Chains A and B, each alone.
Chain A
C-alpha cells in the first residue's frame, strides 16, 4: 500500500472495502477534529461527544463494509451527515433540545489531542479554548449547527443545505446572523484570542 496520507478519500474508501485496515485508520486520523467538532459543539458534553463520535464511525465502517457508501469523493459531508443524524436522534431520545447553557464543569481542553506544552502554555491554551466555546455556546442551536458545519467540518453552504434540508439562503442567513452575534460578543466582552 502506498503512503495513505497521500491518497484521496475515494481511494482510501476503495482500499478499505478491499480489507485494508490502514485505509480506515487514515480516514479516522484525517477527519478526527472536523467530525468530532461537528458533534461536540452541538452536544457540548465531552463524554457524550466521544460516544457519538464512536457511534458515527461504527456506522461508517458498517456502511463501507456493506458497500452502502455511494458518495464517492465526498467522504466528509457523508460522515458529517451521519454524525449530525446521530446528534439529532440523541436530542429526540432525550426529548429536549439543547437550549440551556452548560456550565464550566467540563472543558473542551480535556479532549484536545495530546501535545507537549509547558504549564503556562497549557493555561493560555485552555483559556483560548474556553473563549471559543463561549462564542459558539451562546448561539441558538440552528445557527450553531451551521457555524460548526461550515467552519469546522468545512462543508460548503450547498452541502449544509442538503444535510439540514433547508434552502441555501437559509443556511447562509443563519451564518450571517451567527457572525453578527459573535462579532458583537467579541466587541462587548472584549473576547480577544490574541496572546
Chain B
C-alpha cells in the first residue's frame, strides 16, 4: 500500500466519512494501486458479510413498549 492511503483512510472512505478532497485522493489511490485496491476490496467483503442480516426485536417487545407509551399518555 502506498503511503498516502492507510487502512484507516479506507475504512473512513468506505463509511463515507471522508471530505471531498480526501475522497478524491483515496479513490485515485484505489484506482491506481492494485494493493490499495485489494485492501479496499477486502474491507468491502467484510462489510458484505456484516450486512447479510440484522437481528430485530420481537413483535411482542414492540407491543409492550407501545402499551407503556399509551399508559403514560393516559
Contact = CB atoms under 8 A, between A and B. Distances in A.
A53 B60 CA distance: 12
Contacts of A132: 49-50, 52-53
A19 B8 CA distance: 45
A125 B53 contact: yes
Given A61-B72, A172-B8, A173-B8, 6 more contacts: A129-B55, A150-B15, A151-B47, A182-B50, A183-B45, A183-B46
A172 B12 contact: yes
B49 A157 contact: no
B35 interface: no
Interface of B: 7-8, 11-12, 15, 17, 42-43, 45-50, 52-62, 64-66, 68-70, 72-73
A122 to B, nearest CB: 12
A36 B57 contact: yes
Q: Mostly helix, strand, loop or mixed at chain B's interface?
A: helix
Contacts of A53: 57, 61
25 contacts: A21-B69, A21-B70, A24-B69, A29-B62, A32-B56, A36-B57, A40-B55, A49-B57, A50-B61, A57-B68, A58-B65, A61-B72, A111-B55, A111-B56, A111-B58, A113-B56, A125-B53, A128-B52, A128-B53, A132-B52, A132-B53, A135-B46, A172-B12, A182-B50, A186-B49
